């Protein structure tokens, strides 16, 4: 159980003034990422605070960390954060408490910390983790239902859905950090009416709104993570866009599932939001509707059911090339919430390891597309446009699927009375094409 402590105190302010206003990164958040800066091209770990980034490795060299916090800070300052993700949660908590103390109003170390801040606009964010394995689940039940209705009106949910957390093994090599442009993939496309497939640029390019989970220490092959111990394996969260080529997907996916329709790119947000930062926003897993089966015992834990879900607002915005040229803002096309997941993150981890499969530090889990039950909260264009049949309005333009030049932006915010609102930063990417056919 992640506990609330002084680092969640709403009234604490930071001497970094930008952290006290409208920001994703108040002092109660303190996410970790990997950055380089205009004055130092080396990749190193940093903590976001308001509009600034605290150089953790420089803070270690300056002697600002000791004890449990020193080891955590040392690995948090590295150019890739796998070792940080692997530390026990108690060390992560100690690190958080120390950074909170350094950045809080009245900190005696302020003058030593100030030179270690870099303005975010002078920083380039990098993929924070060397991702060994990436698994994408399908835990958003409204998405599963909506997609099922499109292709199987008589049986939207397959019989296994409410018993087994569905997932597939994704591709880690093509995971990119927010801000990376994404090339429109080519592949085999065949509409049902076509006599034969053709090869060419994807015509039905889509996004998927997901939460990403960064795995902690992991487990040895041949062992399983019990549901009650799964929470300790969650070291962080991010936003994830599972770019999807629907025309390629619909032709290739049977019988073994997604392949080239998904493997060309997956975008993640740059900042690792810790379980500690999200502690105030944990909620009970919503009760299953009457008639739904209870999870099997290996997926059932009373504490997890009591606080294993997350109340995090998720929004998708679209900025078309035309709107960008006219300096228009992006248009919000969806507002969903992480509480619409049918399985908790702990259940996903318990299931993933139930066969003895080993997870390793920095493995990435996608939750699956998180659609709300309402039409204004759908997590993909596939759902919003009924597979391209009903275009949506995007600030005066229409879209069925993504056009070249479109930028997809996913943001998230967690809010609760009595606590500071925290955000995730964003995950964004512009679609480009190298061909005209």
- Total number of residues binding Ca ion (CB under 5 A)? 3
What is d(CA 402, CA 408) in angstroms, rounded to the nearest whole number?
9
Footprint (CB under 5 A) of Ca ion, residues 136-175: 136
Residue number, 55 or 206, with CB nearest to Ca ion = 206
The single-letter DSSP state of residue 284 is P
Nearer to Ca ion, 83 or 164 (CB): 164
With residue 290 as reference, give the H or E element that holds it: none
Q: Provide the phi-psi class of 387: left if phi over 0, else alpha when psi is between -120 and 50, else beta.
A: left
Binding mask 225-244 for Ca ion (x = CB under 5 A): -----------------x--
Site for Ca ion in 98-137 (CB under 5 A): 136
Question: Which helix (H) or strand (E) is 209 found in, with range?
Answer: strand 209-215
- For residue 229, give both structure tokens: 């111990």
Between helix 89-103 and helix 67-76 the angle, nearest 10°, is 90
Catalytically active residues are 143
Please tell me the number of Cα atoms within 13 Å of 392 on its side-chain side. 23
Q: What is the smallest separation between the CB atom of 367 and Ca ion, expressed in angstroms?
A: 8
In whole angstroms, how close is the CB of 308 to Ca ion at the nearest point? 21
* Segment 204 to 223, residues that bind Ca ion, using CB under 5 A: 208
Closer by beta carbon to Ca ion, 208 or else 315: 208
* Structure tokens belonging to residue 269: 């947000």
Provide the minimum distance between the beta carbon of 148 and Ca ion in the complex, in angstroms, as a whole number. Answer: 14
Q: Which is nearer to Ca ion, 24 or 136 (CB)?
A: 136
The residue count for the chain:
437
> Could you tell me the smallest distance in angstroms from the CB atom of residue 404 to Ca ion?
22
- Region from 66-74, 203-211, 264-272, 281-289 binding Ca ion, contact rule CB under 5 A: 203-211
Closest CA to 262 of 134, 390, 373: 134
**Of 143 and 189, CB closest to Ca ion:** 143
Residue 226 vs 260, nearer CB to Ca ion: 260
| Structure-token pair, residue 96 | 């958080």
Site mask, Ca ion, residues 335-374, x = CB under 5 A? ----------------------------------------
Binding of Ca ion at residue 383 (CB under 5 A)? no
User: Whole-number minimum distance, CB 264 to Ca ion, in Å?
Assistant: 13
d(CA 91, CA 151): 48
CA distances from 207 to 183, 184, 262, 273, 384 (A): 13, 12, 10, 22, 11
**One character per residue 239-268, x = contact with Ca ion (rule: CB under 5 A):** ---x--------------------------
Residue nearest to Ca ion (CB): 242
Cβ at position 137, least distance to Ca ion in Å: 8
- Nearest-approach distance from CB 266 to Ca ion, in angstroms: 9
Integer Cα distance of 72 and 60 in angstroms: 10
In sequence order, what are the residues at sequence separation of 6 or more whose Cβ sits closer than 8 angstroms to the Cβ of residue 63? none
User: Please, which residue, 208 or 304, has the CB nearer to Ca ion?
Assistant: 208
DSSP string, 299-346: G--HHHHHH-EE--EEEEEEE-HHHHHTTPPPEEEEEEEGGGBSS-HH
**6: which residues sit within 8 A by CB, 6+ positions away?**
12, 97, 100
Contact residues: Ca ion, CB under 5 A: 136, 208, 242
């Amino acid at each position: 159980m992640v506990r609330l402590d002084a680092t969640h105190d709403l009234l604490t302010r930071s001497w970094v003034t930008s952290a006290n206003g409208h920001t994703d990164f108040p002092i109660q958040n303190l996410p970790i990422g990997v950055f380089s800066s205009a004055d130092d091209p080396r990749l190193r770990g940093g903590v976001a605070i308001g509009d600034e980034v605290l150089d953790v490795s420089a803070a270690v060299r300056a002697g600002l960390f000791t004890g449990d916090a020193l080891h955590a800070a040392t690995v948090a300052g590295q150019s890739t954060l796998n070792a940080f993700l692997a530390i026990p949660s108690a060390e992560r908590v100690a690190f958080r408490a120390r950074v909170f103390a350094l950045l809080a109003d009245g900190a005696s170390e302020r003058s030593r910390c100030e030179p270690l801040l870099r303005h975010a606009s002078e920083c380039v964010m990098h993929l924070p983790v060397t991702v060994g394995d990436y698994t994408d689940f399908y835990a958003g039940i409204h998405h599963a239902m909506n997609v099922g209705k499109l292709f199987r009106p008589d049986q939207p949910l397959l019989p296994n859905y409410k018993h087994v957390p569905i997932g597939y093994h994704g591709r880690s090599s093509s995971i990119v950090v927010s801000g990376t442009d994404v090339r429109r993939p080519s592949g085999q496309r065949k509409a049902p009416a076509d006599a034969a497939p053709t090869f060419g640029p994807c015509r039905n390019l889509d996004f998927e709104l997901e939460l990403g989970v960064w795995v902690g220490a992991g487990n040895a092959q041949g062992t399983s993570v019990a549901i009650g111990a799964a929470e300790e394996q969650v070291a962080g969260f991010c936003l994830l866009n599972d770019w999807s080529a629907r025309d390629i997907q619909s032709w290739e996916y049977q019988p073994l599932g997604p392949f080239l329709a998904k493997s060309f790119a997956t975008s993640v947000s740059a900042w690792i939001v810790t379980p500690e930062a999200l502690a105030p926003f944990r909620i009970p897993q919503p009760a299953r509707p009457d008639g739904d089966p209870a999870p099997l015992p290996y997926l059932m834990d009373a504490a997890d059911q009591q606080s294993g879900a997350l109340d995090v607002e998720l929004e998708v915005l679209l900025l078309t090339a035309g709107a960008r040229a006219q300096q228009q803002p992006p248009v919000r096309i969806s507002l969903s919430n992480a509480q619409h997941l049918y399985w908790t993150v702990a259940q996903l981890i318990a299931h993933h390891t139930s066969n003895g499969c080993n997870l390793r530090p920095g493995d990435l889990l996608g939750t699956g597309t998180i659609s709300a039950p309402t039409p204004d909260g759908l997590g993909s264009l596939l759902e919003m446009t009924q597979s391209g049949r009903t275009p949506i309005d995007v600030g005066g333009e229409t879209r069925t699927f993504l056009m070249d030049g479109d930028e997809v932006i996913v943001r998230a915010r967690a809010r609760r009375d009595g606590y500071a609102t925290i955000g995730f930063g964003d995950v964004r990417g512009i679609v480009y094409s190298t061909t005209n056919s």
